[in-house]
């Protein structure tokens, strides 16, 4: 195999102490003490057609199983067991103080500071790329986000509009994005129908805040800022695409993301394959076909897809982190895998120039 230094552009190491005490519903305090009951509730919700709520309960299970390990360091060491020793990780925190599920035991400032310490730990030197996060509705959150970027030197920003705020919220547009653009730092944002949702945000509202088109005002106001719409539309929309089925709102977020990138109108729009590709047998062949074409639009897409896993949310899937990486590498081939896992991340993170042709694989 080729000598590839992998950058996993999407992992989480936050613990249950970084989530609200009542997330995703008040009974969570009780359910956390009974993992098997959590799984039973999730299965029942799926039988009742409550997919989004079932996703929330699945995440509660992950908080219980992985988040209860007690420290971000312990979770990071877990994911590193699945990867080559020199793998780098973009570590994405969560700001859930505005989610409406009660108090968060550990403050955002402490979460950021802990990530800063992880980056400097002798066991993790050169492997941790921490991002800041923000909820512009929460008092002090914007200020803390800017501290992490300007004082702690974090590598980018993660936002989660599904919690209940628009990606073009005035405080983001006026205070946060300008700093990122000035410092040439990227943005990672959740962009799939599943995930954490604000307590007072229904599915329709959450989808409206999260859909790819919701980012058009940001893309047009900050055309030089690199924005990654995580999850390449999400597993539900990949399933709908594969089976020629309609999706909520009449939009397929996978095809919408692809069309926005392939159009060439938004040269700094990116996506990643985190979590979605854990339905490997179904979706990896589609990804390979989408990325292997020879049209200019195919080349644009190929240069704008990032490798990421979404650890530790992937713990609820049957395939391990290592298994997916190995199978993906085999399915895509060395050159294309290197593009997604090494070359493209270097461009997205601002470490390499787009015009540095020495970085590009033979696929172009």
Q: Which of 121-125, 153-157, 233-237 has the lowest mean pLDDT?
A: 233-237
Q: What is the pLDDT of residues 77-95, one digit of tens each?
A: 988 998 999 999 999 999 9
Q: Which of 53-57, 91-95, 180-184, 223-227 has the lowest mean pLDDT?
A: 53-57
Residue 260 · residue 269 · CB < 8 Å: yes
Residue 168 · residue 130 · CB < 8 Å: no
- The predicted pLDDT at position 324 comes to 76
- The predicted pLDDT at position 53 comes to 75
**Residue 177 or residue 43, greater confidence:** 177
List the chain domain ranges.
Answer: 10-15+71-352
Please report which confidence band the pLDDT of residue 46 belongs to, taking 50, 70 and 90 as the band edges: confident
Q: Kindly report the pTM of this predicted structure.
A: 0.90
Asked whether residue 292 carries a pLDDT value surpassing 80, the answer given is yes
Asked whether residue 174 carries a pLDDT value surpassing 80, the answer given is yes
Asked whether residue 190 carries a pLDDT value surpassing 60, the answer given is yes
- The predicted pLDDT at position 326 comes to 85
**Residue 151 or residue 31, greater confidence:** 151
Asked whether residue 359 carries a pLDDT value surpassing 70, the answer given is no
- Range 312-321 average pLDDT: 58
Architecture per CATH, 10-15+71-352: Alpha-Beta Barrel (3.20)
Backbone angles phi, psi at 130, to 5 degrees: -75, 140
Q: What is the pLDDT of residues 57-69, one digit of tens each?
A: 776 666 666 556 6
Instruction: Name the burial class of residue 48, with classes exposed (0-12), middle (13-18) and buried (19+) by CB atoms within 10 angstroms of its CB.
Output: exposed
* CA–CA separation, 299 and 356 (whole Å): 16
**Residue 355 or residue 220, greater confidence:** 220
Instruction: Please list the helix, strand and coil fractions of the chain in percent, rounded to the nearest 5, in that order.
Output: 50, 10, 40
Backbone angles phi, psi at 152, to 5 degrees: -90, -15
Q: Which helix (H) or strand (E) holds 255?
A: helix 253-262
The closest of 234, 171, 144, 162 to 201, measured between CA atoms, is: 162
pLDDT cut 70: percent of the chain above it: 87
* CA–CA separation, 130 and 149 (whole Å): 10
18: helix, strand or coil = helix
- Range 272-296 average pLDDT: 86
* CA–CA separation, 142 and 170 (whole Å): 11
* CA–CA separation, 134 and 111 (whole Å): 12
Please report which confidence band the pLDDT of residue 318 belongs to, taking 50, 70 and 90 as the band edges: low
């Amino acid at each position: 195999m080729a000598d590839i230094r992998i950058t996993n552009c999407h992992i989480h190491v936050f613990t249950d102490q970084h989530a609200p005490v009542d997330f995703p519903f008040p009974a969570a305090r009780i359910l956390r003490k009974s993992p098997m009951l959590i799984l039973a509730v999730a299965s029942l919700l799926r039988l009742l057609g409550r997919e989004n709520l079932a996703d929330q309960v699945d995440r509660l299970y992950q908080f219980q199983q992985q988040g209860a390990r007690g420290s971000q360091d312990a979770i990071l060491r877990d994911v590193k067991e699945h990867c080559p020793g020199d793998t780098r990780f973009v570590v994405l925190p969560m700001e859930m103080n505005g989610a409406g599920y009660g108090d968060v035991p550990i403050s955002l400032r402490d979460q950021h500071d802990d990530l800063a310490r992880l980056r400097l730990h002798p066991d993790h030197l050169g492997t941790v790329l921490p991002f800041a996060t923000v909820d512009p509705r929460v008092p002090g959150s914007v200020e803390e986000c800017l501290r992490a970027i300007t004082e702690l030197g974090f590598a980018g920003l993660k936002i989660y509009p599904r919690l209940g705020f628009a990606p073009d919220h005035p405080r983001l547009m006026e205070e946060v994005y300008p700093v990122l653009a000035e410092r040439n730092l990227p943005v990672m944002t959740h962009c799939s129908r599943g995930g954490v949702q604000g307590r007072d945000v229904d599915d329709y509202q959450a989808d409206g805040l999260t859909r790819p088109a919701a980012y058009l005002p940001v893309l047009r106001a900050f055309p030089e800022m690199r924005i990654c719409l995580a999850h390449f539309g999400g597993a539900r929309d990949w399933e709908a695409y594969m089976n020629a089925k309609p999706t909520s709102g009449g939009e397929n977020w996978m095809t919408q993301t692809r069309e926005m990138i392939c159009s060439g109108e938004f040269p700094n729009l990116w996506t990643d394959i985190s979590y979605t590709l854990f339905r490997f047998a179904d979706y990896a062949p589609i990804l390979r076909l989408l990325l292997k074409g020879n049209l200019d639009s195919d080349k644009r897409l190929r240069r704008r897809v990032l490798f990421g896993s979404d650890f530790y949310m992937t713990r609820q899937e049957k395939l391990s982190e290592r298994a997916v990486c190995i199978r993906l590498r085999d399915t895509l081939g060395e050159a294309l895998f290197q593009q997604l896992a090494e070359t493209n991340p270097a461009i997205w993170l601002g470490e390499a120039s787009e015009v540095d042709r020495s970085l590009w694989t033979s696929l172009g």
